Amino acid sequence: MSALIATDLRVQLRDRLVLEDVTARFERGRVTALLGPNGAGKTTLLTCLAGLRVPSAGRVRLGDVDVLALDRRARARRIGVLPQNSEVHWDIDVATLVSLGRFPHRDRWAASAADERAVLRAMVATDVSHFATRSVKQLSGGERGRVLLARVLAGEPEWLLADEPLASLDPAHQLDVLDQLRAVAGAGAGVIVVLHDLTHAARVADDVVLLRDGRAIAHGSRDEVMIEDRVREAFGIDVLVSHAADADRFVVPLRRSP
């Protein structure tokens, strides 16, 4: 089980320090939420972890190897990324889109049996197989979100890095996506997800990294991190944290802290 480890990550864009000495360790089989206010560096951290951005200092290791030292395709096979506001530019059908996820695995033109199986599994897991022949342009926001997730899952990555996968989904589909993230982690992959909604984060995450102004101000299990003081420090708001019977936690934003 190789962990994904960020050590002293620093990202400088011109004169702005976007990430400052972030150190964090992510484990497989767990869902880790990256939380923080706008501009805290969540997406930047995610792209560094995915090996898509070269940090100004520090490094990201996947097990023993630096992610930047991995061959592009090898890295893509191990780390799947679901970008924010995923775009689909051409009018293609659902099955074609999902099979794009096999890109890092395929050397030849024709898809292998393993490719077909992985695509099928991803489509079943995200419950999109019954509209496999529909055009992506005709899908609702929720269906589209699931199809895009299926694309990443079709690559069978060890890591799923998702940037705000809940944006523009209605509550039912938000819950669906959260369930799928949990299922992916349950199957042994590591899930790192940028979220804005504290309530959802509290329900889905095993671990939480709390970012503010490019610094990781807290990193640990959900129960350690998602407490009133920490959240106030990160977001500048007062929250109500309450427990439900089944160990779910509810974080309700109340007001800006004075």
- Under the criterion CB under 8 A, does residue 246 sit at the interface with other proteins? no
Q: Whole-number minimum distance, CB 35 to other proteins, in Å?
A: 21
Q: Smallest distance, Å, CB 100 to other proteins?
A: 6
**Nearest partner of 28 among 1, 47, 6, 65, judged by Cα:** 1
Separation between Cα atoms, residue 50 and residue 80, nearest integer Å: 8
Which amino acid, one-letter code, is at 253? P
Q: How far apart are CA 86 and CA 104, in angstroms?
A: 18
One-letter identity of residue 35: L
> How many Å is the Cα radius of gyration of the chain?
18
How far is the C-alpha of 192 from the C-alpha of 153, rounded, in Å? 14
- Closest contact distance (angstroms) between CB of 173 and other proteins is 20
Give φ, ψ of 90 to 5 degrees.
-115, 160
Check residue 76 for interaction with other proteins (CB under 8 A). yes
Q: Give the whole-angstrom CA distance, residue 245 versus residue 222.
A: 16
Segment 83 to 122, residues that bind other proteins, using CB under 8 A:
83, 86-97, 99-101, 103-104, 106, 111, 116, 119-120
Q: Which is nearer to other proteins, 2 or 86 (CB)?
A: 86
Q: Looking only at residues 187 through 206 of this chain, which bind other proteins when binding is defined by CB under 8 A?
A: none
Q: Pattern of binders to other proteins over 127-166, x per CB under 8 A?
A: --xx-xx--------------x--x---x-----------
State the residues that interact with other proteins by CB under 8 A.
50, 52, 72-73, 75-77, 79-81, 83, 86-97, 99-101, 103-104, 106, 111, 116, 119-120, 123-124, 129-130, 132-133, 148, 151, 155
